[in-house]
Structure 1
Amino acid sequence: MVRLSALGSGSKGNALVLSCGDGSIIVDVGFSRKETCCRLRTLGLNAEEIKAALLTHEHDDHSKGCRVFCDEFDIPLCTSSLTANFLRKKGKLPVRVLEFEPGGEFQIGGFGVEPFAVQHDAVNPVGFVIRREGLKIGIATDLGDINMLAMQRLSDCDALVLESNYDAQMLRDSDRQLYLKRRILGRHGHLDNMAACAALDYLLTPRTQLLLLAHLSSECNSIEIVRPLFERRLAELGRTDIEFGIIEQDHPLGTFELEPELPALKAGC
């Protein structure tokens, strides 16, 4: 059994944990060390059981706590070589670093990890496909567009964590500066609700047990818009059996148990 725990997601911090019987890995440490440990305790998780940290990209809402957290618990930060070089120049790398190249594969903490390139305005951003016990978990929290590569990597997952960042009309009507609106709307910005929703037609398969939406904008999106949109689409696709959740910024969502032999998914805190 693999447990997926969502510590939080948004422009002020992102982190999630995958756990199995012999340890855990954390994907992004976008909160401070203190806040990360607090959220782990809230979910009944022990920071000392985390074997490694994976980093999607260098933006502060994904990397803020990486150096201090990794050094305190003596674990490696797994990041692309280009991202590592960037953080090294900023003095933000921990002592232990495992560098990878997008498109490769490696084993860490008992998990198989397959990083793949995504379109986002960072040095070398990646999403992850993570495998364990016959399960496939896809993670893409920052991507301006779901291109063919991302579609291929994220399809047919047991659990999918996907960005649904903004409502296009709310963004256009917002007080944000024009250059920022263009950045977010661009192919290397963030994924809007409609694009994320449309992608479900291809990404979801009979294997899919869990769908979690991530990185909702606090200013240009809302759960009240996102939840009915995706619930309606899941119903249209005949997939109301899928466990569906939205990861919020201010508090952990909870822990979900994935079992490859069982079609049902259990959720709890």
Structure 2
Amino acid sequence: MANIIEVHDLAAPELTLFSHLTEAQLRNRSDPEKGIFIAESSKVIKLALKYGCKPLAFLMERKRITGQAQDIIRECGDVSIYTGDRELLAKLTGYKLTRGILCALTRPKLAAAENLITKARRIAVLDGITDSTNVGAIFRSAAALGMDAILITPSCCDPLCRRSVRVSMGTIFQLPWARIGEDISILRTWGFKTVAMALNLDSVGIEDKKLAAEKRLALIFGSEGYGLSSAVIAACDYAVKIPMAHQVDSLNVAAASAVAFWQLRI
């Protein structure tokens, strides 16, 4: 049976999960398996539960308890549900709750990258992308447009940060992903041709038929401001660009990823 608790004291220690912990503290870098993350909206929370994440606590508007969250509550047994009016909860979190529901969950255990991609033919590699909105949007496009998996380098934003999870619309739980080191040359030993998405003068166009003909491709996307480093580009089999019109210099990385995923899908 649900353990419903009215929020009166915004400084109550049991609410720290939703109010004071930074993303780095939630992640628990020293012991990731003990880390947690925050999911927003009933749709995203349902997907997280479906794919094995365990709920630790809920924060939700009072009206959601007998509304869109009631089936989730039934599924989660006696997990604590902290509740109050929308304005009060916004004071606690510092932002308005998306569709009135937050859930703190255990982080999923990630597979080793080399084990995750044994049968993959098209994967994305995110290197140095620091905007959580872009990371979430890339996951959503990758899932929708047929990528088999995503690999994350150490310099990339955590895909399980709150905003990334929300923007991904839960696809972060549906699409396999794993972490990889800085040295992307290992992708070649795993049987992939590597594609640096970069607007270099010697880049080939994304419509190049040689690209589509490759059996296994790893599409590598770089930071929002500077793109991929020259070292990463030099280490790749291809440097590939999306042709631009009207003197536009580039696309946002999330938009560029969607174009690349569509063009090079199998």
What is the TM-score with the length of structure 1 in the denominator?
A: 0.31
Larger Rg: 2
Bigger fraction of residues in strand? 1
